[in-house]
Structure 1
Amino acid sequence: MSVAKGSFQSSGDAGKEQAQKILFLADVKIEGGREWDITVHNDRFYSRVLRQGSLGLGESYVDGWWDCPALDQLFTRILSAKLDEKPAWNLRLLLHWLAGAFLNRQTRRRAKSVSEKHYDLGNDLYQRMLDRRMVYSCGRWEHASSLDEAQEAKLDFVCRQLRLRPGMTLLDIGCGWGSLARYAAEKYGAKVVGITISRAQKEWAQRSCQGLPVEIRLQDYRDVTETFDRVASLGMFEHVGYKNYRRFFEVARRALRPGGFFYLSTIGSNRSARSTDPWIDRYIFPNSHLPSAAQMTAAMDGLFVVEDWQNWASDYDRTIGAWFQNFQTHWKNLQSRYGERFYRMWKYYLMVSAACFRSRKNQVWQILLAPQ
């Protein structure tokens, strides 16, 4: 998510006036008193946001320069008003875009940075925020009344879409904490190989899947050489990068035996882009990239046939809401380790993410593919 930014510096009343004019387009007021209005604690906020856009907005929130009672409502309004589509480049943002356009930011070495920055933060954080199976992707809420039920329904949906049967082999690319691997082995009798580049996830998944026909590997997807009856990847494609999309689909196609299916779940963008939001890139998911439908279909051309393509954007909004509620509830057990700045950063990340789905800025696609 990017927010409108000016190519000049501003301060004091002039900066506040310009910020108010921009926010007025989204029915947001400064010191307005409504849940989605902004309260500013430091007047340097205005020049920082006008100069740095979404990076300055996120950093100044973490620094405590401004607050909003309902961040998700604020950003839903900003995104619905398409304020993010009115950029004026400054040098820092231009360099960020150029890096995404001309560099492969998802090489093997760089791929490890997201593991270290995000997925290896601490299993205690994710254990308290996620469901009991530790699923860190969108749940299915159609018939669910709790996060546990929604994630169980999603895992079952994936297995049914794959037509899993006892004895089949399944490759789980980006297996996380082993939620799908364990479910597929327990409920469907599959033999599973799960791969991750996160050491913390690998250790957790191995313990979780102990006694089941599941092998968890610390392995890059580019190093897979075996073939499997089925392949799945849930919430990992966002880390592949558009320069590697074709190779990713080639790896999945090569790993899939004739007559098999590949289930892919990913967050998606409405537009083709070459870089990601600079705040998300710096603080949450380094080197990440949200694909467009056009980028994905071009990359899989000649490799796969699309059997099914669903959008669960509203389900992800609700899933993130449940994560945030858990995070809030258990913060007292996490506070001493992570601190107040982390709390503000994590809250900002979750609430902005929820707004991206609620405003339909981002989608979450469930795609079933068959080899061509």
Structure 2
Amino acid sequence: MEKVSATTSKVNTNTDTAKNIAQQLLESAGIAINGHEPWDIQIHNEEIYSRVLHDNSLGLGEAYMDKWWDCQRLDIFFEKILRARLDAKIKIPFHFYLRLLLARIINFQTKSRAKQVAYKHYDLGNPLFTAMLDKRMIYSCAYWKDAATLEEAQEKKLDLICQKLQLKPGHRLLDIGCGWGGLARFAAENYGANVVGVTISEQQYRYAKEYCKDLPVEIRLQDYRDINETFDRIVSVGMFEHVGYMNYPTFMATAHRALADNGLFLLHTIGVNESSYFANEWITKYIFPNGMLPSIAQVAKPTEKLFVMEDWHNFGSYYDNTLMAWHENFLRHWENLKSQYDDRFYRMWTYYLLSCAGGFRARTIQLWQIVFSKRGVIGGYLAPR
């Protein structure tokens, strides 16, 4: 199917024309307008067609938040859309190219800008994340191999990380982007590590300090760029997505400087199949300001002359399970949460979790754990799975 032009400057494209275009695209993905399958889209406002053709992903997400449309199974809806590559069949309007240009010349992840994601997302309130996540408050992909519950899968992920790092009692571990302290506490309690965790979120900082008290764990409210010490092991889980490609060389240089010569560094990050320079417009505006997902090339390039890549493990399909478990928890606790968050937030958060689940299920988004050493592990590195 040829690309459909969506370059009109206003959301007033002829409704019938826009609807015909949308219908053809959706049918090619096995989705019907006002159909009876759980993945079919139910339209409440006919202007949605022009809105989406004009604003693409941003228009689709905002229209959902505005109750212009619904879908019983958003996760399947997005899986079908992405597997059919509908995003590649709609011509990108000019203002998206402008944003691409800005992303190539402006550093959206400076120290001051980096804090925006803390205010916008991670400081939404600990009750939200306590309700949604596992007991350790791990906000990253779980490892579902031989696991039946979210609790089991997250514990297996933490243990897998410590095994990959070959963590030993007394090792000094740096956790870049330590979240609510779940990994720091696990490594201290189960592997005898002395941990320094850094975060730029005020709420995460306060929670993690209390959660890890009476353990050999120090939690700091600190930007990764200000780290100037040496550690036996370094880990960064679910933070690299906020670094930005302009700062990848700085991030890798910081990790290299802070890592002992015989140390290991594990990077756990979401990734994409093709290099880009900014994230989905809706995600950037409503969920993760200034975020972007790296490609293999964008991760690899800044490690040249710094690290030996010892292992690259992709278990992105497990993020589907993780997001669906988070959504189930969110729904189950909504009655207790809705006094703090309105209905528009409910639709926004549902859209976020389920659209991402569909993306991972369609394999357009990946999850990588990458292990680096400075000089290569003598005799080779054997990664646990």
Considering the TM-score relative to the shorter chain, is it more than 0.5?
Answer: yes
Structure 1: give runs of 5+ residues left out of the alignment.
Answer: none
Written as runs of structure 1 = structure 2, the 5 A alignment for 1:151-230 is 151-230=154-233
**Residue 134 (structure 2) pairs with residue 131 (structure 1):** yes
**Residue 265 (structure 2) pairs with residue 246 (structure 1):** no
Distance 1:296 1:197 in 2: 22
Post-superposition shift, 1:99?
Answer: 2.0
Tell me if the contact between 2:169 and 2:193 (Cα under 8 Å) persists in the aligned partners.
Answer: yes
Post-superposition shift, 1:4?
Answer: 7.6
Alignment deviations for residues 78-126 of structure 1 (CA, whole Å, 9 cap, x no partner): 0000111234232332232222121111001110000100000000000
Name the % identity: 53
Alignment deviations for residues 288-346 of structure 1 (CA, whole Å, 9 cap, x no partner): 01000011111101111111111111111101110000000000000111010000000
Structure 2: give runs of 5+ residues left out of the alignment.
Answer: 376-385
Post-superposition shift, 1:275?
Answer: 1.5
Written as runs of structure 1 = structure 2, the 5 A alignment for 1:271-290 is 271-290=274-293
Distance 1:86 1:301 in 2: 36
Tell me if the contact between 1:317 and 1:358 (Cα under 8 Å) persists in the aligned partners.
Answer: yes
Structure 2 equivalent of residue 61 of structure 1? 64
Distance 1:129 1:80 in 2: 28
Structure 2 equivalent of residue 369 of structure 1? 372
Structure 1 equivalent of residue 381 of structure 2? none
| Residue among 300, 307, 323 paired with 2:303 | 300
Alignment deviations for residues 185-229 of structure 1 (CA, whole Å, 9 cap, x no partner): 011110000000000000000010010000000000000000000
Tell me if the contact between 2:4 and 2:21 (Cα under 8 Å) persists in the aligned partners.
Answer: no
Whichever residue aligns with residue 277 of structure 1, its letter is: N
Tell me if the contact between 1:4 and 1:83 (Cα under 8 Å) persists in the aligned partners.
Answer: no
Distance 1:191 1:44 in 2: 57
Distance 1:141 1:359 in 2: 18
SS of the equivalent of 1:279 reads helix
Distance 2:92 2:142 in 1: 37
Structure 2 equivalent of residue 7 of structure 1? 7
Whichever residue aligns with residue 281 of structure 2, its letter is: P
Whichever residue aligns with residue 219 of structure 1, its letter is: Q
Whichever residue aligns with residue 40 of structure 2, its letter is: D
TM-score (norm 1): 0.98
Written as runs of structure 1 = structure 2, the 5 A alignment for 1:7-86 is 7-8=7-8, 9-86=12-89
| Residue among 320, 326, 329 paired with 2:329 | 326
Q: Pick closer, same or farther for the CA change 1:222–1:151 going to 2, 3 Å.
A: same
| Residue among 87, 95, 99 paired with 2:98 | 95
Tell me if the contact between 2:109 and 2:244 (Cα under 8 Å) persists in the aligned partners.
Answer: yes
Distance 2:210 2:147 in 1: 28
